[in-house]
Amino acid sequence: MSTITLARIYERQGYIADAIAIYSQLLKDEPQNSTLQKALQRLKGKNMQKVAFFTAMNKKDQFREFEKWLVKPWN
């Protein structure tokens, strides 16, 4: 069952695509819901920023720094 609460949980956990899917589904049932509209706009903007960041990496040193970040221990 998709709810706004579940979408918010996904959003806080970083599961942006899942949150977008739920907000979109809920918005179909309530197209005038401004809370859902704003959440969806916000997340789509964040998602596009991430895509832009990854597609802009074009130098070997940028990839190496990103790889270091990926394997960094997060303890």
State pLDDT tens for residues 50-71: 767 777 777 788 878 778 777 7
What domain range includes position 66? Answer: 4-71
Residue 23 burial (10 A CB sphere; 0-12, 13-18, 19+): buried
Helix intervals (H) in the chain: 4-13, 16-29, 34-56, 60-71
Residue 27 burial (10 A CB sphere; 0-12, 13-18, 19+): middle
Residue 75 has pLDDT above 60, yes or no: no
* Angle, CA of 40, 44 and 47, to the nearest 5°: 140
Max distance between CA atoms of the chain, in angstroms, equals 47
What are the tens digits of pLDDT across the range 10-49? 988 988 889 999 999 999 999 999 999 999 888 888 767 7
> What total of structural domains would you count in the chain?
1
Q: Is the pTM of this model over 0.75?
A: no
